[in-house]
């Protein structure tokens, strides 16, 4: 929320400092909070990827015979 506010202020005032602060906050959130924020999404994507891999392997093995 703070980063969004700083970004909008930076856009309106053309002040470079606000945009730099926004980038720093976004980088910190990405580095420190990504696993907490997107843990459930990543698990779902891993499950989909594993399911697709199993289907692909089953199809590939049936064609090889």
For 6-43, the pLDDT digits (tens) are: 888 888 888 888 888 888 888 888 888 888 888 999 99
Q: Is the pLDDT of residue 54 over 80?
A: yes
What is the model's pTM?
Answer: 0.52
Q: Is the pLDDT of residue 53 over 70?
A: yes
What would the mean pLDDT of 49-61 be, rounded to a whole number? 89
Q: Mark 18-47 as b/e (b = at least 16 C-beta within 10 Å).
A: bbebbeeeeeeeeeeeeeeeeeeeeeeeee
The residue segments making up the domain with residue 29 are 2-64
Report the number of distinct structural domains present in the chain.
1
Q: Is the pLDDT of residue 65 over 70?
A: no
């Amino acid at each position: 929320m703070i980063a969004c506010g700083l970004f909008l202020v930076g856009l309106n005032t053309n002040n470079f400092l606000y945009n730099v602060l926004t980038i720093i906050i976004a980088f910190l959130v990405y580095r420190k909070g990504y696993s907490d924020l997107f843990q459930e999404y990543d698990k779902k994507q891993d499950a989909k990827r594993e399911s697709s891999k199993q289907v692909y392997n089953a199809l590939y093995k049936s064609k090889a015979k």
